[in-house]
Structure 1
Amino acid sequence: MRTLVIGDIHGGLRALTQLIEVSKVTKDDRLIFVGDYVDGWSESAQVIQYLIELSKTSDCVFIKGNHDVWCADWLRTGDGDSVWLAHGGKETVDSYDGFSEADKKQHLYFFEDMQLYHIDNDNRLFLHAGFTSVYGVEKEIHKENFYFDRTLWEMALTMDKRIDKQSKLYPNRLKHYHEIYIGHTPTTNFKQSQPMNAINVWNVDTGAAFKGKLSAMDLETKEMFQSDTVYTLYPDELGRNKQ
Protein backbone atom coordinates (compact mmCIF):
# COMPACT_ATOMS: atom_id res chain seq x y z
CA MET A 1 0.00 0.00 0.00
CA ARG A 2 1.24 3.46 -0.93
CA THR A 3 0.45 6.70 0.84
CA LEU A 4 0.30 9.68 -1.50
CA VAL A 5 0.11 13.29 -0.35
CA ILE A 6 -1.61 15.62 -2.81
CA GLY A 7 -1.25 19.40 -3.08
CA ASP A 8 -3.70 22.28 -3.46
CA ILE A 9 -6.26 21.63 -6.23
CA HIS A 10 -8.08 24.98 -6.48
CA GLY A 11 -10.99 23.91 -8.65
CA GLY A 12 -8.87 22.10 -11.23
CA LEU A 13 -10.87 18.90 -11.65
CA ARG A 14 -9.20 18.07 -14.96
CA ALA A 15 -5.80 18.22 -13.29
CA LEU A 16 -7.00 16.09 -10.38
CA THR A 17 -8.44 13.31 -12.53
CA GLN A 18 -5.32 13.37 -14.69
CA LEU A 19 -3.11 13.12 -11.58
CA ILE A 20 -5.10 10.17 -10.25
CA GLU A 21 -4.56 8.45 -13.59
CA VAL A 22 -0.86 9.35 -13.92
CA SER A 23 -0.06 8.13 -10.41
CA LYS A 24 -2.04 4.90 -11.04
CA VAL A 25 -4.05 5.20 -7.84
CA THR A 26 -5.68 1.96 -6.71
CA LYS A 27 -8.14 1.16 -3.93
CA ASP A 28 -5.17 -0.03 -1.83
CA ASP A 29 -3.54 3.42 -1.77
CA ARG A 30 -4.06 5.99 0.94
CA LEU A 31 -4.55 9.57 -0.27
CA ILE A 32 -3.86 12.56 1.97
CA PHE A 33 -5.02 15.91 0.61
CA VAL A 34 -3.56 19.05 2.23
CA GLY A 35 -6.48 21.37 1.45
CA ASP A 36 -7.64 24.22 -0.81
CA TYR A 37 -9.86 22.11 -3.04
CA VAL A 38 -11.80 25.14 -4.29
CA ASP A 39 -11.32 28.67 -5.67
CA GLY A 40 -9.41 29.33 -8.84
CA TRP A 41 -10.44 27.27 -11.85
CA SER A 42 -14.05 26.77 -12.85
CA GLU A 43 -14.81 23.32 -11.40
CA SER A 44 -14.67 23.74 -7.62
CA ALA A 45 -18.09 22.23 -6.91
CA GLN A 46 -17.23 19.39 -9.27
CA VAL A 47 -13.94 18.78 -7.43
CA ILE A 48 -15.82 18.42 -4.15
CA GLN A 49 -18.34 16.03 -5.70
CA TYR A 50 -15.50 13.99 -7.19
CA LEU A 51 -13.72 13.77 -3.82
CA ILE A 52 -16.90 12.71 -2.05
CA GLU A 53 -17.28 9.86 -4.53
CA LEU A 54 -13.57 9.02 -4.35
CA SER A 55 -13.75 8.70 -0.57
CA LYS A 56 -16.32 5.93 -0.95
CA THR A 57 -13.82 3.65 -2.70
CA SER A 58 -10.44 4.92 -1.44
CA ASP A 59 -8.83 5.58 1.93
CA CYS A 60 -8.74 9.39 1.98
CA VAL A 61 -7.72 12.02 4.52
CA PHE A 62 -8.96 15.54 3.83
CA ILE A 63 -7.21 18.50 5.48
CA LYS A 64 -9.02 21.86 5.55
CA GLY A 65 -7.44 24.88 3.86
CA ASN A 66 -8.26 28.56 4.16
CA HIS A 67 -10.22 28.58 0.89
CA ASP A 68 -12.26 25.65 2.17
CA VAL A 69 -13.11 27.60 5.32
CA TRP A 70 -14.37 30.50 3.21
CA CYS A 71 -16.38 28.23 0.92
CA ALA A 72 -17.97 26.42 3.86
CA ASP A 73 -19.01 29.76 5.37
CA TRP A 74 -20.70 30.67 2.09
CA LEU A 75 -22.47 27.32 1.87
CA ARG A 76 -23.63 27.73 5.47
CA THR A 77 -24.84 31.35 5.32
CA GLY A 78 -25.21 32.27 1.66
CA ASP A 79 -22.91 35.26 2.20
CA GLY A 80 -19.47 35.35 0.58
CA ASP A 81 -16.54 37.11 2.25
CA SER A 82 -15.35 39.96 0.00
CA VAL A 83 -11.73 38.82 0.24
CA TRP A 84 -12.79 35.31 -0.70
CA LEU A 85 -14.85 36.48 -3.67
CA ALA A 86 -11.86 38.41 -4.99
CA HIS A 87 -9.53 35.41 -4.64
CA GLY A 88 -11.37 32.70 -6.52
CA GLY A 89 -14.61 32.68 -4.56
CA LYS A 90 -16.67 34.07 -7.42
CA GLU A 91 -15.58 31.20 -9.66
CA THR A 92 -16.56 28.78 -6.93
CA VAL A 93 -20.01 30.34 -6.52
CA ASP A 94 -20.50 30.13 -10.29
CA SER A 95 -19.46 26.45 -10.29
CA TYR A 96 -22.42 25.63 -8.04
CA ASP A 97 -24.90 26.65 -10.73
CA GLY A 98 -27.11 23.61 -11.26
CA PHE A 99 -26.30 22.01 -7.90
CA SER A 100 -29.35 21.47 -5.70
CA GLU A 101 -29.72 22.64 -2.12
CA ALA A 102 -29.34 19.01 -1.07
CA ASP A 103 -26.06 18.82 -2.99
CA LYS A 104 -24.81 21.99 -1.30
CA LYS A 105 -25.74 20.64 2.11
CA GLN A 106 -23.83 17.44 1.37
CA HIS A 107 -20.80 19.52 0.37
CA LEU A 108 -21.07 21.58 3.57
CA TYR A 109 -21.03 18.39 5.65
CA PHE A 110 -17.97 17.29 3.69
CA PHE A 111 -16.16 20.53 4.54
CA GLU A 112 -17.21 20.32 8.19
CA ASP A 113 -15.81 16.79 8.47
CA MET A 114 -12.35 17.85 7.27
CA GLN A 115 -9.46 17.70 9.72
CA LEU A 116 -7.34 20.72 10.64
CA TYR A 117 -4.32 18.41 10.86
CA HIS A 118 -3.49 14.73 10.74
CA ILE A 119 -0.66 12.76 12.36
CA ASP A 120 -0.01 9.27 11.02
CA ASN A 121 1.49 6.22 12.72
CA ASP A 122 4.97 7.24 11.60
CA ASN A 123 4.70 10.61 13.34
CA ARG A 124 4.30 12.50 10.09
CA LEU A 125 2.22 15.66 10.38
CA PHE A 126 -0.08 16.90 7.62
CA LEU A 127 -1.74 20.31 7.63
CA HIS A 128 -2.54 23.04 5.17
CA ALA A 129 -0.28 25.89 6.27
CA GLY A 130 1.52 25.74 9.61
CA PHE A 131 1.40 26.24 13.37
CA THR A 132 3.21 28.45 15.85
CA SER A 133 3.19 26.61 19.18
CA VAL A 134 6.62 25.34 20.22
CA TYR A 135 4.78 22.47 21.93
CA GLY A 136 3.20 21.11 18.74
CA VAL A 137 -0.18 21.24 17.04
CA GLU A 138 -2.12 19.91 20.04
CA LYS A 139 -1.15 23.06 21.97
CA GLU A 140 -1.89 25.54 19.17
CA ILE A 141 -4.16 28.27 20.56
CA HIS A 142 -5.02 30.05 17.33
CA LYS A 143 -6.57 27.33 15.17
CA GLU A 144 -6.61 29.58 12.10
CA ASN A 145 -2.82 29.18 11.98
CA PHE A 146 -3.39 25.65 10.70
CA TYR A 147 -4.71 27.10 7.43
CA PHE A 148 -3.15 30.59 7.30
CA ASP A 149 0.32 30.48 8.89
CA ARG A 150 3.34 30.85 6.60
CA THR A 151 6.03 31.23 9.29
CA LEU A 152 6.60 27.47 9.56
CA TRP A 153 7.61 27.25 5.91
CA GLU A 154 9.59 30.50 6.06
CA MET A 155 11.51 29.19 9.07
CA ALA A 156 12.23 25.85 7.39
CA LEU A 157 13.50 27.61 4.26
CA THR A 158 15.96 29.75 6.21
CA MET A 159 17.25 26.98 8.49
CA ASP A 160 20.95 26.21 8.30
CA LYS A 161 21.05 22.54 7.31
CA ARG A 162 24.24 22.05 9.30
CA ILE A 163 22.31 22.43 12.58
CA ASP A 164 21.67 19.01 14.09
CA LYS A 165 18.15 18.13 15.23
CA GLN A 166 19.44 17.56 18.76
CA SER A 167 20.94 21.04 18.93
CA LYS A 168 19.38 23.73 21.10
CA LEU A 169 19.42 25.92 17.99
CA TYR A 170 17.06 23.59 16.15
CA PRO A 171 13.49 25.04 16.30
CA ASN A 172 11.28 23.20 18.76
CA ARG A 173 8.36 23.33 16.35
CA LEU A 174 10.22 21.07 13.96
CA LYS A 175 11.41 18.56 16.59
CA HIS A 176 7.99 17.08 17.34
CA TYR A 177 7.44 15.33 14.02
CA HIS A 178 9.42 13.04 11.77
CA GLU A 179 8.20 14.95 8.72
CA ILE A 180 5.72 17.77 8.11
CA TYR A 181 3.69 18.10 4.90
CA ILE A 182 2.02 21.38 3.94
CA GLY A 183 0.50 23.30 1.03
CA HIS A 184 -0.69 26.93 1.02
CA THR A 185 2.44 28.63 -0.35
CA PRO A 186 3.08 27.73 -4.01
CA THR A 187 6.56 26.45 -4.75
CA THR A 188 6.32 28.38 -8.01
CA ASN A 189 6.88 31.49 -5.85
CA PHE A 190 10.43 30.17 -5.51
CA LYS A 191 10.82 29.24 -9.20
CA GLN A 192 10.32 25.57 -8.36
CA SER A 193 7.84 23.44 -10.30
CA GLN A 194 7.96 20.38 -8.01
CA PRO A 195 7.35 19.84 -4.28
CA MET A 196 10.10 21.39 -2.16
CA ASN A 197 11.87 20.07 0.91
CA ALA A 198 13.39 22.23 3.64
CA ILE A 199 14.77 20.48 6.75
CA ASN A 200 11.93 18.03 7.60
CA VAL A 201 9.16 20.09 5.95
CA TRP A 202 7.74 19.22 2.52
CA ASN A 203 5.66 21.74 0.58
CA VAL A 204 3.48 20.03 -2.04
CA ASP A 205 1.59 23.08 -3.34
CA THR A 206 3.10 23.45 -6.81
CA GLY A 207 0.97 26.34 -7.99
CA ALA A 208 -2.04 24.58 -9.53
CA ALA A 209 -4.08 27.72 -8.86
CA PHE A 210 -1.81 29.75 -11.11
CA LYS A 211 0.63 28.58 -13.78
CA GLY A 212 1.88 25.47 -12.04
CA LYS A 213 0.92 21.80 -11.91
CA LEU A 214 -0.97 19.64 -9.45
CA SER A 215 1.36 17.26 -7.63
CA ALA A 216 1.31 14.07 -5.60
CA MET A 217 4.19 12.41 -3.77
CA ASP A 218 4.76 8.91 -2.43
CA LEU A 219 5.70 9.35 1.22
CA GLU A 220 8.07 6.39 1.35
CA THR A 221 9.94 6.65 -1.95
CA LYS A 222 9.48 10.40 -2.50
CA GLU A 223 8.50 9.61 -6.08
CA MET A 224 6.60 12.57 -7.53
CA PHE A 225 3.67 12.62 -9.94
CA GLN A 226 2.27 15.67 -11.71
CA SER A 227 -0.56 16.75 -13.94
CA ASP A 228 -0.03 18.89 -16.99
CA THR A 229 0.36 22.59 -16.29
CA VAL A 230 -3.16 23.33 -15.11
CA TYR A 231 -3.86 26.40 -17.22
CA THR A 232 -3.32 24.32 -20.36
CA LEU A 233 -6.26 22.19 -19.25
CA TYR A 234 -8.46 25.30 -19.04
CA PRO A 235 -7.51 27.27 -22.17
CA ASP A 236 -10.78 29.22 -22.18
CA GLU A 237 -10.02 30.64 -18.74
CA LEU A 238 -6.62 32.19 -19.46
CA GLY A 239 -8.08 35.69 -19.41
CA ARG A 240 -8.16 35.59 -15.63
CA ASN A 241 -5.25 36.94 -13.62
CA LYS A 242 -3.16 33.76 -13.42
CA GLN A 243 0.47 34.26 -12.43
Structure 2
Amino acid sequence: MKRTFVIGDIHGGLLALKQVLSKVSINQSDKLIFLGDYVDGWSESAQVIDYLIDLEAECECIFIKGNHDSWCEDWLMGKLANETWLFHGGKSTVKSYQNYSPDQKQKHLAFFNRMKNFYVDSENRLFIHAGFSSMHGPEKEHYESNYSWDRTLWEMALTMDKHVKKDSVFYPKRLKLFHEIYIGHTPTLYYDVSTPMNAINVWNIDTGAAFKGSLSILEIHSKEFWQSEPVYTLYPHEKGRN
Protein backbone atom coordinates (compact mmCIF):
# COMPACT_ATOMS: atom_id res chain seq x y z
CA MET A 1 0.00 0.00 0.00
CA LYS A 2 1.22 3.48 -0.85
CA ARG A 3 2.30 5.27 2.28
CA THR A 4 0.69 8.57 3.23
CA PHE A 5 2.25 10.59 6.00
CA VAL A 6 0.82 13.56 7.85
CA ILE A 7 3.24 15.97 9.53
CA GLY A 8 2.50 18.30 12.43
CA ASP A 9 3.40 21.94 13.03
CA ILE A 10 7.10 22.58 12.32
CA HIS A 11 7.56 26.19 13.53
CA GLY A 12 10.98 26.80 12.03
CA GLY A 13 12.49 23.56 13.32
CA LEU A 14 14.32 22.39 10.20
CA LEU A 15 16.55 20.02 12.16
CA ALA A 16 13.50 18.27 13.59
CA LEU A 17 11.88 18.03 10.16
CA LYS A 18 14.96 16.41 8.66
CA GLN A 19 15.15 14.06 11.62
CA VAL A 20 11.60 12.69 11.35
CA LEU A 21 11.74 12.35 7.57
CA SER A 22 14.97 10.37 7.85
CA LYS A 23 13.29 8.01 10.33
CA VAL A 24 10.66 6.95 7.78
CA SER A 25 13.02 6.88 4.79
CA ILE A 26 10.85 8.95 2.46
CA ASN A 27 10.80 7.84 -1.18
CA GLN A 28 9.16 9.08 -4.39
CA SER A 29 6.10 6.87 -4.00
CA ASP A 30 5.17 8.40 -0.64
CA LYS A 31 2.61 11.14 -0.15
CA LEU A 32 3.32 13.83 2.43
CA ILE A 33 0.58 16.04 3.87
CA PHE A 34 1.79 18.96 5.96
CA LEU A 35 -0.73 20.52 8.36
CA GLY A 36 0.68 24.05 8.41
CA ASP A 37 2.60 26.43 10.69
CA TYR A 38 5.93 25.96 8.97
CA VAL A 39 7.31 29.21 10.40
CA ASP A 40 7.62 31.14 13.68
CA GLY A 41 9.48 29.72 16.63
CA TRP A 42 12.93 28.30 15.97
CA SER A 43 15.55 30.10 13.91
CA GLU A 44 15.19 28.33 10.54
CA SER A 45 11.77 29.36 9.26
CA ALA A 46 12.95 30.61 5.87
CA GLN A 47 15.18 27.56 5.56
CA VAL A 48 12.21 25.26 6.28
CA ILE A 49 10.43 26.83 3.31
CA ASP A 50 13.49 26.27 1.11
CA TYR A 51 13.57 22.64 2.18
CA LEU A 52 9.85 22.10 1.52
CA ILE A 53 10.08 23.67 -1.94
CA ASP A 54 12.88 21.24 -2.79
CA LEU A 55 10.98 18.32 -1.25
CA GLU A 56 7.96 19.14 -3.41
CA ALA A 57 10.07 18.39 -6.47
CA GLU A 58 10.98 14.93 -5.15
CA CYS A 59 7.65 13.45 -4.01
CA GLU A 60 3.94 14.21 -3.79
CA CYS A 61 3.31 16.90 -1.19
CA ILE A 62 0.20 18.68 0.06
CA PHE A 63 0.77 21.89 2.02
CA ILE A 64 -2.00 23.20 4.28
CA LYS A 65 -1.80 26.84 5.39
CA GLY A 66 -1.67 27.63 9.10
CA ASN A 67 -2.32 30.87 10.95
CA HIS A 68 1.41 31.58 11.32
CA ASP A 69 1.86 31.03 7.60
CA SER A 70 -0.84 33.60 6.87
CA TRP A 71 0.98 36.15 9.01
CA CYS A 72 4.26 35.46 7.23
CA GLU A 73 2.55 35.59 3.84
CA ASP A 74 1.15 39.05 4.63
CA TRP A 75 4.62 40.26 5.63
CA LEU A 76 6.21 38.87 2.46
CA MET A 77 3.53 40.73 0.49
CA GLY A 78 4.80 43.96 2.00
CA LYS A 79 2.21 44.50 4.71
CA LEU A 80 3.25 45.96 8.05
CA ALA A 81 4.38 43.23 10.43
CA ASN A 82 1.54 42.28 12.76
CA GLU A 83 2.56 42.98 16.37
CA THR A 84 0.78 39.84 17.57
CA TRP A 85 2.69 37.84 14.98
CA LEU A 86 6.03 39.32 16.03
CA PHE A 87 5.29 38.44 19.66
CA HIS A 88 4.33 34.85 18.80
CA GLY A 89 7.41 33.87 16.85
CA GLY A 90 7.41 36.32 13.97
CA LYS A 91 10.62 38.02 15.07
CA SER A 92 12.63 34.84 14.52
CA THR A 93 11.04 34.43 11.09
CA VAL A 94 11.92 37.98 10.03
CA LYS A 95 15.48 37.39 11.22
CA SER A 96 15.71 34.13 9.23
CA TYR A 97 15.02 36.15 6.04
CA GLN A 98 17.64 38.83 6.66
CA ASN A 99 20.03 37.53 3.98
CA TYR A 100 17.37 36.61 1.42
CA SER A 101 17.13 38.53 -1.83
CA PRO A 102 13.85 39.99 -3.14
CA ASP A 103 13.73 37.17 -5.72
CA GLN A 104 14.12 34.51 -3.05
CA LYS A 105 11.37 36.10 -0.97
CA GLN A 106 9.13 36.24 -4.03
CA LYS A 107 9.67 32.52 -4.59
CA HIS A 108 8.62 31.87 -1.01
CA LEU A 109 5.59 34.12 -1.36
CA ALA A 110 4.48 32.09 -4.38
CA PHE A 111 4.80 28.96 -2.22
CA PHE A 112 2.62 30.46 0.51
CA ASN A 113 0.10 31.63 -2.10
CA ARG A 114 -0.48 28.11 -3.41
CA MET A 115 -0.98 26.46 -0.01
CA LYS A 116 -4.42 24.92 0.57
CA ASN A 117 -6.89 25.89 3.27
CA PHE A 118 -7.84 22.22 3.54
CA TYR A 119 -7.58 19.00 1.60
CA VAL A 120 -9.93 16.00 1.28
CA ASP A 121 -8.44 12.79 -0.09
CA SER A 122 -10.10 10.01 -2.11
CA GLU A 123 -11.03 8.15 1.10
CA ASN A 124 -12.92 11.16 2.49
CA ARG A 125 -10.26 12.12 4.99
CA LEU A 126 -10.03 15.83 5.80
CA PHE A 127 -6.71 17.53 6.46
CA ILE A 128 -6.95 21.04 7.89
CA HIS A 129 -4.78 23.18 10.14
CA ALA A 130 -7.27 23.96 12.88
CA GLY A 131 -10.93 23.17 12.13
CA PHE A 132 -14.22 24.47 10.82
CA SER A 133 -17.55 25.44 12.37
CA SER A 134 -20.12 24.83 9.64
CA MET A 135 -22.19 21.67 10.01
CA HIS A 136 -22.12 21.51 6.19
CA GLY A 137 -18.35 21.21 6.01
CA PRO A 138 -15.35 23.50 5.46
CA GLU A 139 -16.35 24.38 1.90
CA LYS A 140 -19.45 26.07 3.41
CA GLU A 141 -17.49 27.93 6.09
CA HIS A 142 -18.53 31.58 6.40
CA TYR A 143 -15.24 32.66 7.98
CA GLU A 144 -12.11 31.39 6.25
CA SER A 145 -10.06 32.29 9.31
CA ASN A 146 -11.62 29.26 11.03
CA TYR A 147 -9.53 26.98 8.82
CA SER A 148 -6.42 28.11 10.64
CA TRP A 149 -7.82 29.28 13.99
CA ASP A 150 -10.87 27.21 15.03
CA ARG A 151 -10.41 25.00 18.08
CA THR A 152 -14.06 24.11 18.68
CA LEU A 153 -13.92 21.04 16.44
CA TRP A 154 -11.07 19.51 18.45
CA GLU A 155 -12.59 20.53 21.79
CA MET A 156 -15.92 18.99 20.73
CA ALA A 157 -14.23 15.73 19.73
CA LEU A 158 -12.42 15.56 23.07
CA THR A 159 -15.62 16.22 24.99
CA MET A 160 -17.71 13.67 23.07
CA ASP A 161 -15.05 10.96 22.80
CA LYS A 162 -16.19 7.62 24.26
CA HIS A 163 -19.46 9.17 25.44
CA VAL A 164 -21.59 9.03 22.32
CA LYS A 165 -22.16 6.41 19.62
CA LYS A 166 -22.15 7.30 15.95
CA ASP A 167 -25.85 6.41 15.53
CA SER A 168 -26.84 8.67 18.42
CA VAL A 169 -28.80 11.85 17.71
CA PHE A 170 -26.20 13.58 19.89
CA TYR A 171 -23.28 12.59 17.65
CA PRO A 172 -21.72 15.82 16.25
CA LYS A 173 -22.86 16.38 12.67
CA ARG A 174 -19.54 17.95 11.73
CA LEU A 175 -17.72 14.73 12.52
CA LYS A 176 -20.09 12.61 10.40
CA LEU A 177 -18.99 14.44 7.27
CA PHE A 178 -15.59 12.74 7.05
CA HIS A 179 -14.10 9.32 7.58
CA GLU A 180 -11.23 10.90 9.50
CA ILE A 181 -10.04 14.44 10.25
CA TYR A 182 -6.39 15.39 10.76
CA ILE A 183 -5.49 18.67 12.45
CA GLY A 184 -2.61 20.60 13.99
CA HIS A 185 -2.76 24.03 15.67
CA THR A 186 -3.55 22.90 19.25
CA PRO A 187 -0.47 21.37 20.90
CA THR A 188 -1.15 18.08 22.64
CA LEU A 189 1.13 19.39 25.38
CA TYR A 190 -1.88 21.42 26.54
CA TYR A 191 -3.26 18.08 27.75
CA ASP A 192 0.06 16.79 29.13
CA VAL A 193 0.36 14.44 26.14
CA SER A 194 3.54 14.36 24.07
CA THR A 195 2.32 12.10 21.23
CA PRO A 196 -0.41 12.44 18.56
CA MET A 197 -3.90 12.29 20.07
CA ASN A 198 -7.12 10.72 18.78
CA ALA A 199 -10.66 11.67 19.82
CA ILE A 200 -13.59 10.05 17.94
CA ASN A 201 -12.39 10.35 14.31
CA VAL A 202 -10.15 13.40 14.80
CA TRP A 203 -6.37 13.06 14.97
CA ASN A 204 -4.27 15.90 16.40
CA ILE A 205 -0.68 15.76 15.14
CA ASP A 206 0.64 18.98 16.73
CA THR A 207 2.84 17.66 19.52
CA GLY A 208 4.26 21.01 20.55
CA ALA A 209 7.37 21.37 18.39
CA ALA A 210 7.24 25.13 18.95
CA PHE A 211 7.57 24.65 22.70
CA LYS A 212 9.02 21.72 24.68
CA GLY A 213 7.62 18.98 22.45
CA SER A 214 8.72 17.00 19.43
CA LEU A 215 7.79 17.13 15.76
CA SER A 216 5.60 14.17 14.79
CA ILE A 217 4.91 12.31 11.56
CA LEU A 218 2.13 9.71 11.31
CA GLU A 219 1.31 7.17 8.61
CA ILE A 220 -2.46 7.43 8.19
CA HIS A 221 -3.20 3.77 7.33
CA SER A 222 -1.20 2.04 10.06
CA LYS A 223 -1.37 4.95 12.54
CA GLU A 224 2.28 4.29 13.32
CA PHE A 225 4.11 7.49 14.19
CA TRP A 226 7.65 8.73 14.63
CA GLN A 227 8.98 11.75 16.48
CA SER A 228 12.02 13.96 16.51
CA GLU A 229 13.93 14.65 19.65
CA PRO A 230 12.30 17.46 21.65
CA VAL A 231 12.95 20.35 19.30
CA TYR A 232 14.33 22.69 21.95
CA THR A 233 17.20 20.23 22.45
CA LEU A 234 18.14 20.65 18.79
CA TYR A 235 18.33 24.44 19.26
CA PRO A 236 19.90 24.67 22.74
CA HIS A 237 20.70 28.37 22.54
CA GLU A 238 17.22 29.46 21.50
CA LYS A 239 13.90 29.97 23.24
CA GLY A 240 11.48 29.08 20.42
CA ARG A 241 8.02 30.35 21.32
CA ASN A 242 8.51 29.72 25.04
Interval of TM-score (by shorter of Structure 1 and Structure 2): over 0.9
The two structures have a TM-score, normalised by structure 2, of 0.98
Cα distance per residue 1:201-230 (max 9 Å; x no partner): 000000000000000000000000111110
Alignment of 1:187-206 (within 5 A): 187-206=188-207
Deviates more, 1:164-173 or 1:51-60: 164-173
CA distance in 1, matches of 2:8, 2:223: 14
Alignment of 1:171-186 (within 5 A): 171-186=172-187
- Aligned partner of 2:226 in structure 1 is 225
- Aligned partner of 2:129 in structure 1 is 128
Matched position secondary structure for 1:181: strand
Paired-residue identity, %: 59
Deviation, structure 1 residue 162:
4.0
CA distance in 2, matches of 1:166, 1:241: 42
Deviation, structure 1 residue 160:
4.3
CA distance in 2, matches of 1:137, 1:71: 23
- Aligned partner of 1:72 in structure 2 is 73
CA distance in 2, matches of 1:3, 1:241: 29
Are 1:138 and 2:134 matched, yes or no? no
Cα distance per residue 1:58-115 (max 9 Å; x no partner): 1000000000000000000152100000000000000001111000000001001000
Are 1:167 and 2:135 matched, yes or no? no
TM-align CA RMSD: 0.9
| Counterpart residue identity of residue 88, structure 1 | G
Deviation, structure 1 residue 241:
5.6
Q: How many residues align?
A: 241
Question: Which ranges of structure 2 fall in alignment gaps of 5 or more residues?
Answer: none
Matched position secondary structure for 1:130: coil
| Counterpart residue identity of residue 228, structure 1 | E
- Aligned partner of 2:150 in structure 1 is 149
CA distance in 2, matches of 1:241, 1:42: 11
| Counterpart residue identity of residue 233, structure 2 | T
The two structures have a TM-score, normalised by structure 1, of 0.97
